[in-house]
């Protein structure tokens, strides 16, 4: 069972979600713009990493908000 | 295409800079977190950002988009001079400078001086790098 989140933690997680969405999108767009195969691969993996982070942060936020409501 | 090269180097540079900021933000968030799960989440994010930044930095060096400057003999002389000045009179200063059991400017000075001296005497290679 997850402990309750502090307001500061919720703000950090919220901000991280916002940044992860933006970073995942821009990395995906940039990977389509570059010709270098290594850089393209790196940008694709970055986009995936940001998407994974987004899911983790959303999961943490979801569990914490359920804890607050109960 | 020159434009293509510049744009790819710029994208890589921007990516590296954002990863550094991401690592710093995650580290601060981890330090401020009270909840152990949240702390762990940010620690993991910080570690992954540092790893990704290392990858892009390696790629940038490999492609010639980033050339780390080598320390010159003059840089190291200046550094050692300042270090000796700052640590003069501080307890254990001789240990910090030369390692345990060594005199100030002994072991460390000889190693650094040797490496830098060898590089400084050699001709500069491609991309402004000093080769040993």
The 10s digit of each residue's pLDDT in A16-55 is: 999 999 999 999 999 999 999 999 999 999 999 999 999 9
Residues of A in contact with B33 (CB under 8 A): 6, 9, 12
d(CA B23, CA B19): 6
d(CA B16, CA B6): 15
Beta bridge partners of B124: B130
Q: Is the pLDDT of residue A68 over 50?
A: yes
pLDDT at residue B113, rounded to an integer: 42
Residues of A in contact with B15 (CB under 8 A): 27, 30, 42-43, 46
pLDDT at residue A69, rounded to an integer: 61
With CB atoms and an 8 Å threshold, state whether B35 touches A57: no
Is ipTM strictly over 0.85? yes
d(CA B23, CA B51): 10
Smallest CA-to-CA distance from B60 within B5, B99, B21, B98 is with: B5
């Amino acid at each position: 069972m997850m402990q309750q989140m502090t307001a500061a933690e919720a703000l950090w997680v919220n901000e991280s979600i916002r940044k992860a969405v933006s970073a995942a999108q821009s990395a995906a767009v940039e990977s389509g713009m570059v010709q270098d195969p290594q850089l393209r691969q790196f940008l694709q993996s970055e986009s995936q990493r940001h998407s994974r982070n987004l899911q983790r942060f959303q999961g943490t936020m979801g569990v914490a908000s359920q804890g607050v409501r109960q | 295409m020159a434009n293509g090269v510049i744009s790819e180097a710029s994208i890589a540079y921007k990516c590296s800079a954002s990863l550094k900021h991401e690592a710093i933000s995650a580290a601060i968030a981890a330090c401020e977190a009270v909840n152990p799960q949240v702390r762990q989440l940010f620690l993991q994010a910080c570690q992954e950002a540092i790893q990704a930044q290392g990858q892009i930095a390696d790629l940038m060096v490999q492609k010639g988009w980033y050339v780390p400057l080598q320390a010159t003999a003059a840089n190291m002389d200046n550094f050692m001079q300042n270090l000796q000045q700052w640590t003069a009179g501080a307890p254990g200063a001789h240990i910090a400078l030369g390692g345990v059991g060594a005199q100030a400017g002994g072991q460390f000075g000889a190693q650094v001086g040797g490496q830098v001296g060898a590089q400084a005497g050699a001709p500069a290679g491609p991309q402004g790098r000093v080769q040993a």
